[in-house]
Amino acid sequence: MKRILFFTFFIFLLPFLFIGAGCGRDTSNTENLPSKESQNQDSQVESNNQNNTQNNEWVETSEVLSENELGFTIEPTEAWGEFSEVLYNRYLSSEPDLGEDKEIRGAFSNEKDVVYRATLSAIARGGYVGDNIGYKKKSDGYYVVNLTGEIKIPDDVLVREVPLSNVSALLLSGPNESEGPSFFPNQPNEFAAIINTPNGIAPGGVFIANLGGGNVTIEEFQEMLTRVKIDL
């Protein structure tokens, strides 16, 4: 009778023994799952990263300028069309106190390979030929004027002074090989004419031909310059 009771009790306990054994199995998979708190933190970090990306976007504006503000005028032609200009600026939305890129941008309606640039301020970028705002002739050669100061022009890019309608501009031509970021033309087929504008909102600026590619010849470029009249 005792044996029967013991056997019955053992059979009754058997399912609980198996259940207990299952509780001792490897739980590494569940231990590695992120908690709800961790998931919420990751979501918050991702949201913050998205907000930071959005907050670091450039804000761009432009304002149409008149010829009186430029300090020069250009006689239009049917081939090149009308010349128009804007004051362009941009700044980082997250850091407005850092400053802004601000430059005068001019273009012809029918000739997209020639532009005008005059940089008033610049942040977060390297220099380029459009940063020049005038030139000077000294006893030891010609110098460009830009936001960094005065820089002597290398002989390999200097062409000569060429006539405008009433004064002169300084003509530069790119070297035989690209030299990377530079305050001078840096492509073989790139030309630049630096002008002084004493009565403009910038002290000077630069006409650029074939910036980033184009087919304007140096002869066509010089012909355009003869139609530029500086306000004196």
Q: What is the predicted pLDDT for the residue at 206? A: 97
The more confidently predicted of residues 178 and 214 is 214
Q: What is the predicted pLDDT for the residue at 55? A: 52
pLDDT tens digit string along 12-43? 444 444 444 444 444 444 444 444 444 444 44
Could you tell me if 126 and 192 are in contact, meaning their C-beta atoms sit under 8 angstroms apart?
no
On average, the pLDDT of the chain sits at 80
C-alpha 61: how far from chain center: 14
What is the percent of the chain with per-residue pLDDT over 90, rounded to a whole number?
Answer: 55
Could you tell me if 91 and 180 are in contact, meaning their C-beta atoms sit under 8 angstroms apart?
no
CA 200 – CA 133 distance, rounded (Å): 11
User: pLDDT-based confidence at 100, cuts 50/70/90?
Assistant: confident
User: pLDDT-based confidence at 179, cuts 50/70/90?
Assistant: low
pLDDT tens digit string along 101-131? 899 999 999 999 999 999 999 886 778 999 9
Which residues lie closer than 8 Å to 188 by C-beta, 6 or more apart? Answer: 174, 175, 176, 177, 178
Q: What is the CA angle 130-167-157, rounded to 5? A: 40
CA 167 – CA 139 distance, rounded (Å): 20
Q: What is the predicted pLDDT for the residue at 18? A: 45
Q: What is the predicted pLDDT for the residue at 72? A: 96
The CB density around residue 80, as the number of other CB atoms within 10 Å, is: 19
CA 91 – CA 56 distance, rounded (Å): 9
